[in-house]
Structure 1
Amino acid sequence: MKLQAVRNTPKILPEQAAEQIADRIVAGSFAAGQQLPNEFDLAEQLGVGRGTVREAVKILVSRNILEIRRGCGTFVCSHPGRVEDPLGFSFVRDKKKLALDLCEVRMMLEPEIAALAAARATDQEIESLRKAAEEVEQELLAGRDHGGKDMELHRLLAVCSRNQVVEQLIPMIQRTISIFITLTDAQLVEETIRTHRRLIEAVKNRDADGARDAMREHLENNRQRIRIMPDHAENQERQEKR
């Protein structure tokens, strides 16, 4: 499908061109991971110069919609528009305060996500959840870093909710998981295994209330553990004395 030619509007030409390309990605003309036409062809389709196309591509690269692979061309990002740390959590110094604040947000969201998953997940998805929980458990019992496996479990749970907004919140949820694991030093082994098992069993039984309660307990365990940890100022003072 050809792009519409850019027309005179209050927006500058590169912004118009970028908008046209982004619209085609949303419409499915360019899929995630697909290579775009070359610069010359895009310029012809848009009715603009190649310099305008270059600037439009730069705009979309800055928004994590396109990526340039040297020697290969320009491609649609695997998750267009999504950034790893959308809220800038990695730049917050007081990780304890951040983790507690994020826990409040997770308490608002994840119990309901779990309840939706119990109501909407397919049998195949429930089996995937069970396997993901088992993998987390294996990593915990072996004393290995379970962060990646835990993130995958929460990602699958969000997918099972059948809510596209929830799925877009996954990056934020995953960022909080890594912060929680760092702060708690993976000390909540028994509690994590128990609440995960309870959660998966509730989803399997289509028990929305049970899934909601299991997730609340899981998050509350994390919150209580974080609360008793030294705060940022105390940690900094200890490091300075060493």
Structure 2
Amino acid sequence: MESLAQKTEIKLLAYIKDHQLMPGDRLPGEPQLAKTLHVGRSTLREVIRALSAKKVLEVKRGAGTFILSKDIYGDDPLGFATVKDRIQLTKNLVDIRYLLEPTMASLAAQKASPAEIDTLQRLHLAINQLIKEGNEAHLTLDKEFHLTIAAASKNVALLRLIPVINNSIDLYGEFTAKREINNTGRHHQDILQAITEGDSQGAYDAMLIHMAHNRERLNRYLVDLENTTKGERHDNQSNTQ
């Protein structure tokens, strides 16, 4: 659950983006900004302090608060944090991965260095071990596995996009059902084998299957979530009658 300060930070970043404010620009005064964001002045001050610590804003005594950094989103350069519908965002990002990552794997099969293949093998073994142990740290290594493939593709755009997308899918761990988690290991094995053998089409197909499975798994999770929510709403309505 996001705190009021966290929600206000997102709203303030959205305000900066929507008004196309740049480094050196001054924010409106505290009373006006608090009214615009529909928050109290104490909450606004807390957010400004937090963004000042992140070097996004700068408070100049007697002059006001100014935009300090052009990269106002830090690790979120595309501004995903400002999207209110997190479920829709997650679905859209998974769709983007479905489109991008098979081509990424195909390129990696053509261009991966021996060192990159060794890294993929090490990560694959570590992920499998963590899955057996029931350790959720495998999700972090899973991201590293895909990032290594992006690096092996030698495509700079993919290398920059993949971590941004991965870091923005905050529901990923939630829709990973334990009964299906072993499919991840099998899919990674197929992807790794194709890249190791320099099989461009095989790598494309293996990654496509992996992404399709992830998308299907997400959709099933969201259907279950919607049914649960509907059931809870029905129960609440029944209790109030």
State the TM-score bracket (shorter-chain normalisation).
0.5 to 0.7
1:135 aligned residue: 126
- Residue 207 of structure 1 corresponds to 199
Q: 1:167 to 1:188 in 2, by over 3 A?
A: same
Corresponding position of 1:117: 108
> What are the residue-to-residue correspondences of 1:7-156 with 2, within 5 Å?
14=24, 59-61=67-69, 63=71, 82-84=74-76, 86-88=78-80, 91-93=83-85, 95=87, 97-145=88-136, 146-156=138-148
Q: Which residue identity does 1:63 align to in structure 2?
A: D
Q: How does 1:209-224 map to 2 (within 5 A)?
A: 209-224=201-216
Distance 1:13 1:199, change over 3 A: closer
Quick one: structure 1 residues 177 and 233, their matched pair in 2 at CA, closer, same or farther if it must change by over 3 Å? closer
* Cα offset, 1:109, TM superposition: 0.2
Unaligned runs of 5+ in 1: 1-11, 16-50, 65-80
Distance 1:207 1:173 in 2: 26
- Alignment CA distance shift 1:235-1:92 (3 Å): farther
Partner of 1:194: 186
Deviation at residue 63 of structure 1 after TM alignment: 1.9
Structure 1 residues 129 and 237: alpha-carbon distance in aligned structure 2, compared to 1, 3 A threshold: same
The alpha-carbon deviation at position 147 of structure 1 amounts to 1.3
CA distance in 2, matches of 1:179, 1:220: 17
Aligned 8 A contact 2:90 2:169 in 1: no
Deviations 1:8-58, CA, capped at 9 Å, x for gaps: xxxx9947xxxxxxxxxxxxxxxxxxxxxxxxxxxxxxxxxxx8xxx9xx6
Deviation at 1:62, TM superposition (A): 5.6
Which residue of structure 2 aligns with residue 180 of structure 1?
Answer: 172
Match of 1:234 in 2: 227
Let me know the Cα RMSD of the aligned residues. Answer: 3.1
Sequence identity (%): 26
- d(CA) in 2 for partners of 1:14, 1:167: 31
Q: 1:143 to 1:238 in 2, by over 3 A?
A: farther
Change (3 A) 1:87 1:215: farther
Deviation at 1:131, TM superposition (A): 0.6
The count of residues paired between Structure 1 and Structure 2 equals 176
Structure 1 contact 147–177 (Cα < 8 Å) conserved: no
Separation in 2 of the partners of 1:122 and 1:62?
Answer: 35
Q: Which amino acid aligns with 1:235?
A: T
User: SS state of the match for residue 83, structure 1?
Assistant: coil
1:171 aligns to what? 163
Q: Write out per-residue CA displacement over residues 98-145 of structure 1, whole angstroms, 9 at most, x where no aligned residue.
A: 433322211110000011111111001110011111111111111110
Distance 1:201 1:82, change over 3 A: farther
What is the TM-score normalised by the length of structure 2?
A: 0.62
User: SS of 2:106's equivalent?
Assistant: helix
